[in-house]
Chain A
């Protein structure tokens, strides 16, 4: 219970910082000065004070969607074992339900984008669903491989199993780690799929769904996007870098110790993301399915290698 609450608090507060850190790393690589790492916080706070400007024909779904998206992301953060595996809420939702929660957020974002009835909204909705329909099976396959190694689909159990293995090289996990990174880049609208800083509407995928939002709705959506990236990073840690997580038999001290360890993991992951983003170029929209098909293929290959080699 304590673990659960702590994870939630850390996720909510640290997610914008993670974004700021990635921007900082990108600026270092591009030899320019970054804005402050605390800028995302200031941005979200500023948005809450503004008046919401809503299109004339937007329905209640448009106003409700940000809350639902935010809610699902928060609940998702609560069921990912980023710091500890004693999470009572995970008996209600295993890894497949986690993927389902992420899908719910995506569907509501797409529906809200279509609600206003402009060309940009439906463009964003269509592209977001296109990326989603290829990324979701790849993510499920990655989880499948981890589940087959641990004989369970509950994420804390997977983490515990993989963390307590003697240091073994799992080639199948190596494959799926690459696939997972590609899915992370696609789902969180990072280069090479989507440019999070773009202002050109015709190249947007994720941003186009947020185009009509303002004030507190936009604040919630932005926070939810930051939470989504944080969640994906933590899912990756849970499956591929599970050491340092406080497992069921450890005491509360290990929980406190896992916080700086998580910070280190996030720092490294953020730097790696920044490097990948700086080195790659944004793909054409119709190369994105090829990119994701490669990710899907790698995940299936990992599955086959696991079945053949037993590792």
Chain B
């Protein structure tokens, strides 16, 4: 599927559709849109409205707006959410860098280099695409525990530098194959080494796929709950996702405003990617079947 196929507006199939039908379709879609967005808007409103109003109204318009809940939620646990956000950002950024570097190196070898056993390794790489992480979970845990990495970010970050995410390798292989080989050859005649071809020809031409892979790596890492759940014990090391879980468990004190305020904050980075890279995300999904 090409990206033009996605971007191209489709010509209307039935030009003579009656205005009544049009109105009905729009009405249906608008109702569906409201239903889809209602939970999100309600949460935003819950974060902004007075505490006692949260569970007493279904309206998504607060009677008055205050950011007080954000302050309360920010300091709602023993450790401030500033720490959790810092941790999440550090882990996510390190993972993006590692995943892009390691997967593009691997993909370059599979897409462009010729070496003994290539097809064999490539088939093995594809074979791990569907391997559920639970299968490697326990030995990995033992390994990282023996290395003394439990309760550090290392078990979450280091695997990304070893290209364990076959999906992104596959994505990049597909893209690299579409780049004309003449460019590599011209560069080689000009005296470029193999690494220079990778670094100076392939990577600059692969900005779209690198951006897509980078954004999705960021979102997957940012949202990751299972990894932090098993590897991070000390609250000072918690990510935002773990902190939200602790917040839910401690809402016996029922600061729901604070809980929703922090939930909204947790969604903001993803929402920003949605706002600014929506087209890229949608193309990425349409062409590759990325899960989200």
Verify that A and B bind, or say they do not: no
Residues of A near any B CB (own CB < 8 A): none
Residues of B near any A CB (own CB < 8 A): none
